[in-house]
Every structure is written in C-alpha cells, then in structure tokens.
Structure 1
Amino acid sequence: MPRPSKDPRSRHQQIAADLRARILTKDLPPGTKLPSTAQLQEEYGVPNQTVQNAVAVLKREGYADSAPGKGVFVRERPQRVVAPAAFVTPSPPGESYPWLSEAERRGLKGSIELLHVAEVVPPVQVRLAFGLGDEDVAVLRKQVMQLDEEPAELVYSYYPVDLARGTPLAEKRRIKGGTPRALGDMGFNPHEFVDQVSTRPPTPEEFVALELPPDISILRTFRVVYAEGRRPIEATVMVKAGHMYELQYHHVLTPPAV
C-alpha cells in the first residue's frame, strides 16, 4: 500500500489538529488567547471561513471558549493526568474508592453510575486472560465514572465466576471502597498488573456514553490484575476520551549489580 504524500484531511481539520497539539504541549497554555483570525489566515494561507471552522472544532472538543468582545481563549481545564497504579490497590479502611478520593483531591466531584452487573460470555481478550473456553462466562460490572457530572470513563470489569459468584462483586449495587476492597476482603490482594494501551475511533456505545465530540479517538486500557501466584482476579477495559487524558507512569529504576 503506497504511503500518503500529504495529509488528506480538510484544511480546517489540519489547522485544528495543529492548534490542538500546541495546546496539549502547553505552547498555548490555559487562559492564553488564540491568535486572531487574521493572524491564522496569514499563518496558514487560508480564507476566513476555514479559520472559523477550525476554531469551531476546538470549541466543540472543549479546548477553547469565546469571550465576547475579547477573542477566543484556551480553556482553563488542563488535560487530566492519570497514574494507572493509583487505582489498583484497595483503599484504606473507612476511605472511599481511590478514583473518588483522587477526584476530590483535584477539586472535582467524582461519582460512579453502575449500569449493569451480570454473568456474560466475555470478549476473547478477557477469556484468554482468564483461561476460559468459548462458552464460559465471567461476572461483568459495567460503570460510567463521572467528574463534575460529566462522563469521564466507561469501565467494563470482569471477574472469574468461581471467584465472584455469590459475593458483592456479582450484586448490582455499589461496593464501599470499590472492587479492590471487595477482592482484598476475600483474600485476593493485587500483586501485579499488566496494562495494554491503545487508541481507536469510538464505538457507537462509547460515543453516546461518553458524550464525545465528532472525530475524537478514545484511549483504551486493557488491564489484567493478578494475585499471588499470578492468578488473574480481574480484567478491565477502561475507555476514556482521548483528548482529555494523559497516562503517567513512574518507575524507580534499580541500579544494576556491580
């Protein structure tokens, strides 16, 4: 297949992509006024309407807002940084699920809507992680995580039936302290986890559930959590709006032995 010699997107999409990248790298930090229409016309060599269409894309995606009589400014909402390791271990007794605690720490109101709990035949990726056959089932807990009453993440968490059946994991109700606490109370504390991160266009379900603007990809994380002995105890698909999040991994490296 021949490699494309130029960007096939329309000019306004190209300009929006360029400005979006400058916003995400902080070259246009929150609160900064975007270059004027005349400046963008000159910079990109395009007519007024093309610039207006590009700026409309940024507004629709939540990157920019108009201030009447003053111009268009980068929104004061920075991209959210997620540290994946922070949400695997159980919360201390008496404390809420770490996702909610982290939201509060950042000055946001976090909430969780539990959509569905059932025994289902899981996707192949989950069956492989659990060592299940084609017709075997797992317990699914499907949730939407919200920040300030806006959908932030669509989560599908699966649990082996022999572990979850007859426990709070299989009940359609919120679990105090979250599912890591429930697993810990059952004697299955997380020992390690593996993340696979990818991006792709959203499915119709994801587009609606996350209230996404057009032409935005999702950030998909597939996580398998293991207890001691590398027993898989949870497999989770986490879907976030790709333009709103960055993943942050922090590892302390051990010097090689001399």
Structure 2
Amino acid sequence: MPFGEQPAYLRVAEDLRRKILDGSLPPHTRLPSQARIRAEYGVSDTVALEARKVLMAEGFVEGRSGSGTYVRERPDPRLVVRTGYRPGSGQATPFRQEQADEGFKGTWESNSFQDTATARIAERLGIKPGDRVMRTRYLYRTEGEPMMLATSWEPLSVTGRSPVLLPEEGPLAGQGVVERMAALDVVVDNVAEDVGARPGLAEETAVLGGVPGHVVIEIRRTYYASGLPVETADLVIPADRYRVSYRMPVK
C-alpha cells in the first residue's frame, strides 16, 4: 500500500467518526448496521466490521446487549487542575484547594494499611523490596461523580511511630504530604510527576465508570526532601471525561 493511503476500514471509520463529531449521528443514535455500511460505502462485510471495531475501541460507540451498537455520549472534558504545593492554604488539602479554584466541590474517601514494598515501589522510594510502607487508597469525587483513583505509598522508615503515620487520621489528617512531613522536620522541596496513558483495568473502570480497556490518564507522583523520596503515588483519571491542566508559577 502506498505511503499515506488509508486501508478501506479506516476510511469508513473516519467518515462515521466525522458524522458523530458533527452531530449527523447524535448520541444514543444506533450506528448503521453492518449491511448498511457495506452497501453505503461499497465495502465487504470484513471492512464494515473492522470499521465498527475501530469506533468502539476509540470510545465513540458502545454495544448494547441484544440491541445493537449506539453512539456514546461524549461530555466536554472537565479539568483536573495540578498546581503543585502553595503555602498559606490553611486547612485545605492540595486536591480541595485546586478544585476550589475551578469552582468544583471535591470530596474523597480513603483507607490505609501497612504493606510491603514491591520492587517497582521500592525503586521509586529508594528503599529495598519488602520494606514496610503505609499504603493508602483514595477515591476522589467532583460534585459526587467519581473522577480519580489514587494509591500512595510512604516508607515507614520516615513516618513510622509518628503522629502522621496515617495520612487521613491524627492531628494533621488530610493536610497533604508537605505539611505532614514538616511536622517531622522533613522539608519537602521537590515533586516530580510523570504523565502517561494506558488502557484502564477492569477494577478501575468499575469504580470510575466506563468500559475496561478505555484509556485512562496515569500520573506517577513522587515527593522528595533533599533528594530523599518520602511519598510516591499513582493517580488514575478517566481520559474521556477529564483533562489534566497544569498551572505552574514562574519564579
């Protein structure tokens, strides 16, 4: 096939995608049947089927058991704002502070338990596999809608036997990593976030909504104090409903 020439199934998918985006095929409309696609575009059953598979993989359509394939509703993505630590925020956690800036009402639920570091987490925290960590799982909501899952790990060599052992309990419950570490005279001076995308796992999409395999945004965040990692976390956000927006000060 000459360079730049699309296979027939991609040309069909592109035209159907255009109709979805311009409103010719609005949300909840049934996608043309395989026979109709075959007749309208002059293609084989195989091409028609592959074109439908492309649109389903891209999240433009969804199958409904015993009914057919329909155009999915695609709401305008809302923002998940990332601004980094800002001093003087009072009792607000970073999540609550950032979402408040956008006028959203954010809440979360969490649970913490002691665990052992896997090889992957140990490498990120600069500790040995099997070392003890505090693992905390979060579900964040914006105006009641699940919008982000997060799992954090803190080395017990830093927080063990201290008042801030549990991130969401004690005198600094919910204050965030910077404030909690400061109570131990550990000064957090840097944070790194690596952003990527991947198919969502079944257990993630079951909580966040959506279909297993749909793309999620994954942020791998690590807080440092003088080069020492004191917390690392994985944040998972549904890519079809949210967009990550960074607001970084210029110093």
- TM-score norm. by structure 1 comes to 0.67
Q: Deviations over 1:51-89 (max 9, x none)?
A: 9x8494432xxx2xxxxxxxxxxx4xx4233443x2x42
Q: Which runs of 5+ in 1 are unaligned?
A: 23-27, 29-33, 64-74
TM-superposed deviation, 1:230: 0.6
Residue 237 of structure 2 corresponds to residue 240 of structure 1: yes
Secondary structure in 2 aligned to 1:177?
A: coil
Partner of 1:106: 102
Secondary structure in 1 aligned to 2:72?
A: helix
Tell whether the 8 Å contact from 1:90 to 1:181 is kept in structure 2 after alignment: no
Q: Deviations over 1:38-57 (max 9, x none)?
A: 9x98xxx946xx79x84944
TM-superposed deviation, 1:105: 3.2
Partner of residue 128 from structure 2, selected from 133, 144, 152: 133
C-alpha spacing 1:180/1:112, structure 2 compared with 1 (3 Å) = farther
Partner of 2:24: 35
C-alpha spacing 1:35/1:207, structure 2 compared with 1 (3 Å) = same
202-211 vs 94-103, which deviates more?
A: 94-103
Letter matched to residue 242 of structure 2: Y
CA RMSD, Structure 1 to Structure 2 (Å): 3.8
Residue 143 of structure 2 corresponds to residue 148 of structure 1: yes
Q: Distance between the aligned counterparts of 2:146 and 2:119, measured in 1? A: 27
Tell whether the 8 Å contact from 1:221 to 1:239 is kept in structure 2 after alignment: yes
Q: Distance between the aligned counterparts of 1:113 and 1:105, measured in 2? A: 21
Q: Distance between the aligned counterparts of 2:15 and 2:117, measured in 1? A: 39
Tell whether the 8 Å contact from 1:119 to 1:140 is kept in structure 2 after alignment: yes
Q: Distance between the aligned counterparts of 1:95 and 1:172, measured in 2? A: 14
Q: Distance between the aligned counterparts of 2:122 and 2:237, measured in 1? A: 23
1:158-177 alignment, distance < 5 Å: 158-171=153-166, 173-174=168-169, 175-177=173-175
Tell whether the 8 Å contact from 1:160 to 1:233 is kept in structure 2 after alignment: yes
Q: Mark the structure with the bigger radius of gyration.
A: 2
Letter matched to residue 146 of structure 1: R
C-alpha spacing 1:14/1:122, structure 2 compared with 1 (3 Å) = farther
Partner of 2:181: 183
1:1-258 alignment, distance < 5 Å: 6=7, 15-16=16-17, 34-35=23-24, 46=37, 54=61, 56-59=70-73, 63=74, 75=75, 78-84=76-82, 86=83, 88-89=84-85, 92=88, 94-114=90-110, 116-171=111-166, 173-174=168-169, 175-213=173-211, 215-227=213-225, 229-249=226-246
Tell whether the 8 Å contact from 1:91 to 1:181 is kept in structure 2 after alignment: no
**Sequence identity of aligned pairs in percent?**
17
172-181 vs 209-218, which deviates more?
A: 172-181
TM-superposed deviation, 1:194: 1.8
Q: Distance between the aligned counterparts of 2:164 and 2:175, measured in 1? A: 12
TM-superposed deviation, 1:142: 0.9
Secondary structure in 1 aligned to 2:161?
A: coil
Q: Which runs of 5+ in 2 are unaligned?
A: 1-5, 41-51, 63-69
Tell whether the 8 Å contact from 1:91 to 1:177 is kept in structure 2 after alignment: no
Q: Distance between the aligned counterparts of 2:101 and 2:196, measured in 1? A: 28
Q: Distance between the aligned counterparts of 1:122 and 1:196, measured in 2? A: 20
TM-superposed deviation, 1:90: 6.0
